[in-house]
Each structure stands twice: as C-alpha cells, then as structure tokens.
Amino acid sequence: MKVKELLKKFYQKRNLFIIVCVLVLTLSTIGISYSAFFTVKSNTDDQTLTTGNLAVSYSGDGTAVFPSTLEPISDRDGLNQTNNKIIHISNTGTLDSEYVLTVGYDMDKFNDREGAKEDDILTPIEFVKIAVYEYDSASGTSTPLTGPLSIGDLPIYEYNASDQNLNRYGILFGNIGSATSGNATKNYQVKVWLSDKTTPPASNSYFYINSEIVAMVEGAKENFTFQGQLLSSDGTTPVGNAKITLQNGSRVVTTEEDGSFTLEKIPEGTYNILINDKITGNITVKAGSQSNIAPYGPTFTAQAGTNIFQNAYTYGTTVNKLLNANSFNKISKSIVFENGQYNLASTYELVINSNSEMQPLKIMIDDNNITGMSF
C-alpha cells in the first residue's frame, strides 16, 4: 500500500503524528464508524428462555464516516466532533432483558485488512478515548452519560488469557422492558477519538475498535439491590446530598441527608464507582454462600510473568488505575510484572448470599478516597 508507506515515512521523520488506519466495516446490514470500528452484536448464548433477541442497529448508510484529521485530538475536540454513531436497541422478546455495552479490539478486521503484517500493532487501549450519550431519537438531542474515558479506565468484562487483544471492556449495563412494556427501546450516541496524550511508542499503530451488546433475559444472572449509607472516614458522620455513580452512569443516585441511598438491579460484575465526580474506586459483585466484603488493596502480590490486564481482572480494578498507582512509564502492552508488592487503588469485592437478609452497605470516604466498605 504505497499511500500508507509514504504516510508512515512522513510521520516517522517528524515524530509528530500517529497513523490511524480506518477502513470500512459492515456487519449484517449496518455497523460503521469514523475513527474506530463499531459493530453491534446481540449475544443470545446467555439467554435461558426463548424470548426473542434484542434488535440492535447503527445509524448510517453503510459507508465509513472518516474523521477530518488523522491526528490525536484533545478531549474537548473529541466531545465536540460531529462524527458519532447512534446505537438503537429494541427488545423484540416477551420478557424484560438486561444488556451490557462493551468495547474492545476488532481483531477480525485488524487481521483481515489488506497488507497486514505480523509486526503491526494496535493502538494501546489507554490512548483510545470514548464518550457515551443518551439519545432521543424523536428530537435528535443527546444528553451526556459518561466520558471522556479511555478504554483503560473501563473494567475488564471478559478476560482472554491466551490473547489480551481479545479482552472486552464494560462501559454500561442496563435494563430494557419487553416488546409490550412501553419502554422496550434504548438509544445511545457514541463518540471515539485518539487521545492527544498518545506517546511515541504507540506511533504508527492501528486503531481497530468495535462495540458489542451482550444481551440476556432479566434474572438469568443474580441481581442485587443495595440499600446503604455514605459516611465520612470515621464511619459515623453521614454524607448527605452526594452523588454516587456506578459503572459510568449505569446507575446514579443522590444520598439523603442521613447519607442513605439505594442502588437497584445490580448484576454480578466489576464496576467503576464514582462519588461526587472525583472519588473513584472499583467494586466487584458476586453471588456466594455467605455475604461478606473484602478489600483487595491497598497492595497486592503479583506473580512473575503476569501482565497488567491479568492483574486488573484478578483484583477488580482497571488498567489505568494500575498504571497510575504504580507510576508505570511504559505503555500497557509492554508491562510484565515481577514477583513483589504493587500498589492498588480502592477496590472491594462484595460476595452476596441472596437468600439472607442484606445488611445496609456502608461506604466510608474522605476528601480523596474510598476508605472502607462494610455491612
């Protein structure tokens, strides 16, 4: 590909830009994008009853929408760009459904592109930025939901031990009514761009990202409701009128004056938790025989030869949190751990016995951190 080689030489000489390859992707009837590849798939493997599938489609006319520039851009420009995709989700089944919106590398398109070479690399996930909006299809208006985030800020939804490029990262989870419920549709607007913080080691990489909708019948997996209280770090002073955000806008509540709150319909999984838009942590929710809360941090012992993705998945955190907590100055794909202790940001595992009566979930915070969780 002469054009690609000329561009590569041009940018390498100046060491200013990253070459981003964007090709046309079509899945079924539609599934296209601008500076990344976006497909949507409805996964029926998790469904336990015959209820029909979520019908998922993209806006567009079947041709790629290319960005106006191949250069990395600022978050401000990324949010203001007109390039976007609208994801339409409709429940065509007879029972309420749950779904998870995930992103990850589109390895099929990366490997199948013309002129592919074995030493070609994908843009590291920490440099891929994303923002999601709720979209009103009737008026054409959108409301910010989450972002800008890098994919490295997202919990790993599916970890692939044989190939880290096959990992999937969870953005949002949601519930949708049956076809006759009156609330059987959801619409999202998605914007993706290349961060202006991209470093030279990631130059001349390929930008192949797709999204998937993973669907299942509501109740196919355990769901939990947390009635809790937000407290100061001393564990006694209520924190009222505080905003608690779970999984990047999937659930948002404001605490009462006494610090109380309720988070409903929380499926098993690992989630970002954000308090007052600045205090961040992660929480992993699992079903078990006995309810308990265990902190993963503030440190963990890594096994020699493990990578940053494996440890992020094992300890319920994110790639970017491990990068920041340990002041790594390498791109994520090049980090291999040695035996030893490493720092871990605020992370907690909640094991819930659904047959027992739940005690209130207490979350303790100071001005900068989640300092503890307990029942």
Residues 67 and 141 in one domain: yes
Residues 142 and 283 in one domain: no
Question: What's the one-letter identity of residue 329?
Answer: N
153-165 burial code (b ≥16 CB/10 A, e <16) = bbbbbeeeeeebb
Residues 14 and 149 in one domain: yes
The answer to whether residue 356 scores a pLDDT higher than 80 is no
Residues 251 and 201 in one domain: no
In Å, the largest CA–CA distance within the chain is 67
Residues 107 and 212 in one domain: yes
* Radius of gyration of the CA atoms of the chain, in A: 21
Residue listed under structure tokens 């079903």:
287
Question: What's the one-letter identity of residue 136?
Answer: D
Residues 227 and 208 in one domain: no
Residues 42 and 187 in one domain: yes
Task: Return the pLDDT at 353.
Answer: 82
Mapping DSSP to helix (H, G, I), strand (E, B) and coil, where does residue 187 land?
strand
Domain boundary (197, 217, 237) is at 217
Task: Return the pLDDT at 2.
Answer: 40
- Per-residue pLDDT band for 201 (boundaries 50, 70, 90) equals low
Residues 273 and 180 in one domain: no
Residues 209 and 300 in one domain: no
Residue 44 lies in domain: 2-217
Question: What's the one-letter identity of residue 228?
Answer: G
Query: What are the φ and ψ backbone dihedral angles of 260, each rounded to 5 degrees?
Result: -75, 155
- Looking at every residue in the chain, the average pLDDT score rounds to 79
Task: Return the pLDDT at 53.
Answer: 64
| pLDDT tens per residue across span 278-321 | 999 999 999 888 888 889 989 999 999 999 999 999 999 999 99
Residue 126 gets the label, from left (phi > 0), alpha (psi -120 to 50) or beta, of alpha
Domain boundary (217, 235, 259) is at 217
Domain boundary (217, 232, 255) is at 217
Residues 275 and 172 in one domain: no
Residue 148: name the closest of 231, 72, 228 by CA.
Answer: 72
Number of domains in the chain: 2
| pLDDT tens per residue across span 120-153 | 888 899 999 999 999 998 898 999 999 899 999 9
Residue listed under structure tokens 């993973």:
214
Residues 244 and 149 in one domain: no
Residues 200 and 61 in one domain: yes
Cα pseudo-dihedral 147, 148, 152, 156, rounded to 10: 10
The answer to whether residue 13 scores a pLDDT higher than 70 is no
What tokens does 104 get?
């990850």
